[in-house]
Amino acid sequence: MTRRIKQEITDTVIGKKMKMILIIDEASLLRLEVFAELHTLTQFDNDSKPFLPMVLAGQGNLVDNLKYRYSMPLASRVVGRCHLQGVDRQGMEEYLLHHLSIAGVHKNLFDPAAVTAIHQGSGGLFRKANHLARGAIIVAAQAKAPQVLADHVRIAATEIF
């Protein structure tokens, strides 16, 4: 199968004069053996031809996965790395307000301490913040509270994580 894939890549790049790129999202979830197979897909003409550049995107453990023995050949080909940091507290508040407005809510449902709790609990990462905020809104609604408080976020965090 690897030979067939490499042939298709070669035919496309050389024969059709097209550039290719392989983008793998959630690469941190790949089994370690897959990294060895990915390495073989990038070898062309004694490594002199970069026919298949690759972008691996994933969580922080992707870097750890590239340190395993199976992954070393692929890791040696990494020419650039980028680690996204979480947003600051102000950015988190803007993010929450934006999502509230998308939902048709035009006032801030989150108390300032709740925004801080969501920011700290998520590490500034949007996916985790979404889960925390949604859970906190549910907890606040169950309590019939007019605003989401830090305590609601803490309760939601124990339910979610």
Share of the chain above pLDDT 90, in %: 57
- Under CATH, what is the fold of the domain 89-160? Helicase, Ruva Protein; domain 3 (1.10.8)
Q: Is 147 or 44 the better-scoring residue by pLDDT? A: 147
- pLDDT tens digits, one per residue of 44-103: 765 667 788 889 998 888 989 999 988 888 888 888 888 888 899 999 999 999 999 999
pTM: 0.66
Domain boundaries, the chain: 2-75, 89-160
- Residue 54, token pair as written in the block: 């690759």
Predicted pLDDT of residue 88: 97
- pLDDT tens digits, one per residue of 3-28: 898 889 889 988 999 999 999 999 99
The per-residue DSSP string of 61-73 comes to: HHHHHTTSGGGHH
| Chain center to CA of 126 | 9
Share of the chain above pLDDT 70, in %: 96
DSSP code for 148: B
**Which residue type occupies 10?**
T
| Closest to 74 in 3D by CA, of 36, 23, 29, 26 | 36
| Closest to 88 in 3D by CA, of 64, 124, 62, 127 | 124
